[in-house]
A and B are shown apart, each in its own frame.
With several copies, the nearest count.
Chain A
Amino acid sequence: MAKITPLREAVASLVHDGDTVALEGFTHLIPHAAGHEIIRQGRRGLTLVRMTPDLIYDQMIGMGCATKLIFSWGGNPGVGSLHRFRDAVEQGWPHRLETEEHSHAGMANAYVAGASNLPFALLRGYTGSDLPKVNPNIRFVECPFTAEKLAAIPSVRPDVTVIHAQKADRRGNVLLWGILGVQKEAVLAAKRSIVTVEEIVDDLEAPPNACVLPSWALSAVCPVPGGAYPSYAQGYSERDNRFYKAWDPIARSRDDFRAWMQRHVLDTDDFAGFRRVLAESMKEAV
């Protein structure tokens, strides 16, 4: 059964230095609050996994949480580059970041294989691409019936997966809807899991065949209203495009980035505090 617990406690007890950690959410429901809490608690040596590392991984990488990134598309969606990610890869700042690079199809299948307790994912993929030349974890196997060559990549099996969802009930069953990405697979592929939710309700009122994660398959459920900001939670909030654009100049300079993270994340107690300070600084900027 999932414990319903404050996010701070969930991160303290479930995310350890050196862990392989996946924060998932495909544009929608990105667990920003949980990412901030991992930064605040100073986690180090993480292998970060995520199909689309965007602002939250830019922040975690820039703050030195990660030594390795497993991913398939790293950018600021609709805006451009992730400057902290690029600085880590291109200049090794704040330290070298090892990368293991896949395609979306590869990553999605690797999560499915992880959730299915298979050691590897099988797909038609990577043909003609240079990715297998730079990623020794892209191999090829032969079909025992047709002798066709198919791509094989290791399953993703995170120590802990973190997602954001719309609702949980008081027992800790979680409901999410809209763009689901790979979140269900990422949770089921992981040894431990944290789900931040917009609200806790008496009854999920889930439609038939909805995406429900049963409480007993989760480690912790943490109420964090707005915890996906600047991403969105369908039915609760809209994506804040201004913030995605505002991030670009902040992240360009190491000093600006550090100062911003200090003020907005390290010096705030929690995500509500972050939102308050951010509101102030955005007012100043206008």
Chain B
Amino acid sequence: MSAETLDFTATEIMTVAASRLLKDGTVCFVGIGLPSTAANLARLTHAPEVVLIYESGPIGAKPTVLPLSIGDGDLALTADTVVSTPEIFRYWLQGGRIDVGFLGAAQVDRFANINTTIIGPYDAPKVRLPGAGGAPEIASQAKEVFIVLKQSPKAFVAKLPFVTSAGYLDGGDARAKAGIPGAGPTAVITDLGILTPDPVTKELTLTSIHPGVTVEQVKAATGWDLKISPDLKTTEIPDAGALAALRDLQARTAAAHGQAGGGEG
């Protein structure tokens, strides 16, 4: 590892890299866990005007600590308004008002489809995962989608046992042909790098690698023969301000909840 990487963890660069993708003023539908950490970090650093919407009802939430669940009180107390869950899905998401859907995942495939339902056959599951939640419609109706998850061969699989939420389906123009409105996942941010869809085939391609990580490491953490961009960049290291803001946020969260970050719930 190079000297630069000593100052932050792999999770930290993943979180900061994910947060950087959120532009100021963006309306973001936030999944709990890593997406919520990254989105709130963006709000606390370069994107103070980002609008965070949670499926439980808060619009314009500005939590001071990270929510552990999708319906924490701090989300409601800091929001511009809190509407019902049906309204969130009907008027705001389906209504076409979400710029970015920020999702986690248990598994993704080479076309950025997401599985959060089941490992093994549906009727005789090896592992029963939590299920769809808001993801299928977030993935299809947000104008674009960011996915954040740690990279491993178990998580990055060539073919999903179950497609819970659509990425690019079989690639190419399959998504558009299926009549899915949003642009789909434009970035998958991991602890090793950033994958973006090939403009034509829509296959996820490594376009940015985190400093100190090797291409071999990323390939080894991927369940298919990962394409590497000829134009591969090195992810900018987290600046001191972002890192400090992230650590503050997590410290506040730990003090408030007795734990950091929030799980995939």
Contact = CB atoms under 8 A, between A and B. Distances in A.
Is A–B contact present in the complex under a CB 8 A cutoff?
Answer: yes
Interface residues of A, number: 73
Contact of B128 (A77, A85, A112): A85
A103 B259 contact: no
A116 interface: yes
Interface stretch (B9-17, B161-169, B195-203): B161-169
Contacts of B257: 241
A144 interface: no
Contact of A134 (B94, B122, B133): B122
Interface stretch (A8-16, A31-39, A193-201, A209-217): A209-217
A179 interface: yes
B82 A179 contact: yes
Interface stretch (B68-76, B208-216, B223-231, B234-242): B68-76
The listed residue with most B CB atoms (<10 A of its CB), out of A72, A116, A130, A134, is A130
Contacts of B83: 180, 209
Interface string A216-249: 1100000000000000101000110110110000
A126 B73 CA distance: 30
Contacts of A90: 125-128
A94 interface: no
A173 B134 CA distance: 26
Given A77-B70, A104-B89, A173-B80, A179 B75 contact: yes
Chain A contact residues: helix, strand, loop or mixed:
loop
Nearest to B113: A128
A26 B122 CA distance: 26
B86 A130 contact: no
Q: Which of B82, B139, B164 has the most CB of A within 10 A?
A: B82
A184 B178 CA distance: 31
B154 interface: no
A18 interface: no
B72 A27 contact: yes
Interface in B101-130: 113, 117, 122, 125-128, 130
B153 interface: no
A74 interface: yes
A129 B95 contact: no
A211 B80 CA distance: 10
B163 A77 contact: no
B132 interface: yes
Interface stretch (B39-47, B51-59, B142-150): B51-59
B63 to A, nearest CB: 13
A182 B86 contact: yes
A117 B93 CA distance: 9
Nearest to B88: A108
Nearest to A116: B90
A80 B264 contact: yes
A254 B84 CA distance: 36
A180 B20 CA distance: 32
B25 A129 contact: no
A164 B36 CA distance: 27
Contacts of A274: none
Nearest to B26: A216
Contacts of B85: 26, 51, 104, 108, 180-182
B179 A127 contact: yes
Interface of B: 25, 27, 32, 51, 55-60, 68-73, 75-77, 80-86, 88-91, 93-97, 113, 117, 122, 125-128, 130-137, 139-141, 162-166, 169, 175, 178-181, 257-259, 262-265
Interface of A: 1, 26-28, 51-52, 71-82, 85-86, 89-90, 101-105, 108-109, 111-112, 115-118, 123-131, 134, 148-149, 173, 178-182, 184-185, 188, 206, 208-212, 214, 216-217, 232, 234, 238-239, 241-242, 244-245
18 contacts: A28-B73, A51-B85, A52-B70, A74-B130, A86-B127, A86-B128, A101-B131, A103-B135, A104-B89, A116-B94, A124-B141, A148-B179, A179-B71, A180-B85, A208-B76, A232-B73, A241-B257, A241-B259
Closest 3 CB pairs of A and B: A27-B71, A128-B166, A77-B265
